[in-house]
Structure 1
Amino acid sequence: MSATQTFLLPDLGEGLTEAEIVRWLVEVGDVVAVDAPVAEVETAKSIVEVPSPYAGVVAELHGTAGSTVDVGKPLITIGVLAPAAETYREEEKAGSGNVLIGYGTPESAGSGRRRMPRSTVVESVVEKAPARSTVPLVISPLVRRMAKDAKIDLHAVTGSGAGGLIVRRDVEAAIAGQKPALVEETVGTVESRTGLAELRRIPVSGFRKAVASTLSRSRREIPEATTWVDVDATALLEVRESLRTATDAGPGLLALMARFVVAGLKKYPELNGFVDTERDELVQYDGVNLGLAAQTERGLVVPAVADAHLLTARGLDREIRRLTSAARDGKLTPHELSCGSFTLNNYGSFGVDGSAAIINHPQVAILGVGRIIDRPWVVDGQLAVRKLTQLSLVFDHRVCDGGTAAGFLRFVADAFESPASALADL
Structure 2
Amino acid sequence: MNDQVFLLPDLGEGLTEADILEWRVTVGDTVHIDQIIAEVETAKAAVEVPVPFEGTVIELHGAAGDTLKVGTPLVTIRGTHTAPAGQAPAGHEQYREEERAGSGNVLIGYGTGFDAPRRRRRVPTTHRPPATPEAHTPPDTARSTSSTNVPPSAPRVISPLVRNLALSRGIDLSALTGTGSGGIIVRADVENPAKVTGLTVPVPAAPAPGPGRFHLERIPLKGLRKAVADKLSTSRREIPDATTWVDVDATELLRAREAVNRGLPPEDQVSLLAVVARLTIAALSRYPELNASVDIERGEIIRHGQVNLGVAAQTPRGLVVPVIDHADTMTAVELTRVVRDTVETAREGKLPPARLTGGTFTLNNYGVFGVDGSTPIINHPEAAILGIGRIVDRPWVLDGALTVRKLTQVSLSFDHRVCDGGAAGGFLRLFADYLENPVAALGRL
Length-normalised TM-score, structure 2: 0.69
| Aligned counterpart, 1:116 | none
Sort the Cα spacing of 1:312 and 1:403 in 2 relative to 1 into closer, same or farther, 3 A.
Answer: same
> Which deviations, in whole Å up to 9, do the C-alpha atoms of 1:220-257 show, x marking residues without a partner?
22221111111111111122222334533422111111
Sort the Cα spacing of 1:221 and 1:95 in 2 relative to 1 into closer, same or farther, 3 A.
Answer: closer
Sort the Cα spacing of 1:415 and 1:32 in 2 relative to 1 into closer, same or farther, 3 A.
Answer: farther
| Aligned counterpart, 2:50 | 51
More deviation, 59-68/392-401: 59-68
Sort the Cα spacing of 1:351 and 1:380 in 2 relative to 1 into closer, same or farther, 3 A.
Answer: same
Q: Does 1:243 align with 2:260?
A: yes
For the aligned residue pairs, the C-alpha RMSD in angstroms reads 4.1
| Aligned counterpart, 2:137 | none
* Per-residue deviation, 1:28: 4.0
> Does structure 2 conserve the Cα–Cα contact (< 8 Å) formed by 1:288 and 1:341?
yes
CA distance, structure 2, for counterparts of residue 381 and residue 270 of structure 1: 36
Sort the Cα spacing of 1:45 and 1:360 in 2 relative to 1 into closer, same or farther, 3 A.
Answer: same
CA distance, structure 2, for counterparts of residue 8 and residue 273 of structure 1: 38
Higher CA-based Rg: 1
Equivalent positions of 1:264-279 (< 5 A) are: 264-279=283-298
* Per-residue deviation, 1:423: 3.0
Task: Select the residue among 272, 295, 304 that pairs with 1:285.
Answer: 304
User: Gaps (5+ residues) in structure 2?
Assistant: 109-149, 167-171, 176-184, 186-192, 205-211
> Does structure 1 conserve the Cα–Cα contact (< 8 Å) formed by 2:25 and 2:151?
no
Sort the Cα spacing of 1:137 and 1:408 in 2 relative to 1 into closer, same or farther, 3 A.
Answer: closer
> Which deviations, in whole Å up to 9, do the C-alpha atoms of 1:262-306 show, x marking residues without a partner?
121121111111122223322211111111111111111111111
Sort the Cα spacing of 1:317 and 1:34 in 2 relative to 1 into closer, same or farther, 3 A.
Answer: farther
Q: Which amino acid aligns with 1:390?
A: Q
| Aligned counterpart, 1:17 | 16
> Does structure 1 conserve the Cα–Cα contact (< 8 Å) formed by 2:308 and 2:325?
yes
CA distance, structure 2, for counterparts of residue 271 and residue 19 of structure 1: 34
Q: Does 1:230 align with 2:247?
A: yes
CA distance, structure 2, for counterparts of residue 371 and residue 403 of structure 1: 26
* Per-residue deviation, 1:27: 4.0
Sort the Cα spacing of 1:198 and 1:224 in 2 relative to 1 into closer, same or farther, 3 A.
Answer: same
CA distance, structure 1, for counterparts of residue 442 and residue 78 of structure 2: 60
Sort the Cα spacing of 1:136 and 1:424 in 2 relative to 1 into closer, same or farther, 3 A.
Answer: same
Identity level (%)? 55
Task: Select the residue among 348, 355, 366 that pairs with 1:347.
Answer: 366
> Which deviations, in whole Å up to 9, do the C-alpha atoms of 1:335-359 show, x marking residues without a partner?
2212111111000011100001111
CA distance, structure 2, for counterparts of residue 69 and residue 277 of structure 1: 32
CA distance, structure 1, for counterparts of residue 21 and residue 254 of structure 2: 41
Q: Which amino acid aligns with 1:103?
A: N
Q: Does 1:330 align with 2:349?
A: yes
> Does structure 2 conserve the Cα–Cα contact (< 8 Å) formed by 1:31 and 1:56?
yes
| Aligned counterpart, 1:416 | 435
* Per-residue deviation, 1:398: 1.6
| Aligned counterpart, 2:228 | 211
> Does structure 1 conserve the Cα–Cα contact (< 8 Å) formed by 2:154 and 2:174?
no
Sort the Cα spacing of 1:197 and 1:320 in 2 relative to 1 into closer, same or farther, 3 A.
Answer: closer
Sort the Cα spacing of 1:26 and 1:96 in 2 relative to 1 into closer, same or farther, 3 A.
Answer: farther
CA distance, structure 1, for counterparts of residue 154 and residue 91 of structure 2: 19
Equivalent positions of 1:55-70 (< 5 A) are: 58-70=57-69
Sort the Cα spacing of 1:198 and 1:379 in 2 relative to 1 into closer, same or farther, 3 A.
Answer: same
Task: Select the residue among 193, 196, 202 that pairs with 2:219.
Answer: 202
CA distance, structure 2, for counterparts of residue 237 and residue 288 of structure 1: 25
CA distance, structure 2, for counterparts of residue 239 and residue 58 of structure 1: 61
CA distance, structure 2, for counterparts of residue 300 and residue 277 of structure 1: 27
CA distance, structure 2, for counterparts of residue 42 and residue 24 of structure 1: 12
More deviation, 206-215/37-46: 37-46
* Per-residue deviation, 1:32: 6.3
> Does structure 2 conserve the Cα–Cα contact (< 8 Å) formed by 1:30 and 1:136?
no
CA distance, structure 1, for counterparts of residue 173 and residue 58 of structure 2: 21
Sort the Cα spacing of 1:401 and 1:62 in 2 relative to 1 into closer, same or farther, 3 A.
Answer: same
| Aligned counterpart, 1:74 | 73
> Does structure 2 conserve the Cα–Cα contact (< 8 Å) formed by 1:289 and 1:339?
yes
